[in-house]
Amino acid sequence: MRDSVYLDHNASTPCDPRVVEAMLPYLTERPANPSSRHHHAGRVAARAVEEARAVVARCLQAASPSEIVFTSGASEGNNLALKGAAAALASRGRHHVTQVSEHPSVLAPLSTLGRRGFEVTVVGVDRSGRVDLGRLASALRPDTVLVSVMLANNETGVVQPVAEVARLARSRGAVVHCDAAQGAGRLPVSVVELGVDLLTLSGHKVYGPKGVGALYVRRRQPPLRLEPLVEGGGQEGGLRAGTVNVPGVVGLARALELATAQLDEETSRLGRLRDRLEHGIRGRLEGVTVNGAPPRLAGTTNLSFASVDGAALLTALADLAVSTGAACSSGAPEPSPVLQAMGVPRELAAASLRFGVGRFTTEDEVDRAVERVVGEVTRLRRGRRR
């Protein structure tokens, strides 16, 4: 097999060596449990956790480190935010609003809430992949207590108008949740400018470790007291029982710090690589459509290939790490619901690939990917015409 080219950075990013360096002491010579504060080693671990919390809060422009809750990732954070808020706000109302192209870790818990007697309205998106603000405004009701809209789509990279959504929702007194797993580290993320009450992110999307994430919970009046999913130890302000993953939170903080510091430079470079990939493929192949309109994440493109079997194309490109959609849904035979919600015909949605360039992607790798995609699409189209 040819040397593999990794272009699936939306699914997961490699851990930056600088992040690994920050984590190593807490994997080896500093093993203590941060809850064991009666001895020095435990206090060292506890201090590392609190320093990491302060860094994450600063990167998100949160008012206080106490607004940051460490989790196992964005999926857990989304579940805690949505189910926890539903329980906390049930006396005020039981109506929640979201949009159709959210990640499954948002849509699934909302669906579960629907089966538990809550009411959920799912608003459509336009052909660009952006939420319809008019429909969202019309969906808001006196008993609407929570609105959830992602920052950037995991399949198309389309950036959602979260600040506008938040203004609409908060004018009706609703709490606003944002899944920022794809946007954090790739876009400026200020909880103040976005106007959100709850925001989730994941370490392995920002060149940090897998298995760690954070949930921002705004301090507000009256307080939003989420109901925890995991009980038993009182950690994380009582919102998540269990020993805190010290190496993980140290790595998450360092990864987010690095991404924030080099955001402008990295965004510019990734945008050039993405454009090189798109132009290289579309300049040599007809019938290639870009799914999603600007603003998009700099490193993400989703392309549909007319007159090609999508499964056959993905199999033929085994040496390219690309995706047909959300990583957690990659085993599903159905074409992407996100693309179909945007009005992409089913056949084209089934013949679509997501490419995600990243921090360590080179121009040579992009050019090799272009050659492979052009060659295999050409071959498959010829076979189809026979």
Active site members: 328
Output the CA torsion sign for 200, 325, 335, 352: positive
Q: Is 348 helix (H, G, I), strand (E, B) or coil?
A: helix
Helix, strand, coil percent content, the chain, rounded in steps of 5: 45, 15, 40
The secondary structure of 135-191 as a DSSP string is HHHHH--TTEEEEE--SB-TTT-BBP-HHHHHHHHHHTT-EEEEE-TTTBTTB---H
Q: How far is CA 54 from CA 42, 61, 98, 214, in A?
A: 19, 10, 30, 12
d(CA 133, CA 128): 13
Cα separation, 301 vs 173, in Å, equals 36
Contacts of 193 (CB under 8 A, 6+ apart): 61, 163
Which letter, b or e, does each residue of 20-55 get, where b requires 16 or more Cβ atoms within 10 Å of its Cβ? bebbeebeeeeebebbeeeeeeeebbbebbeebbbb
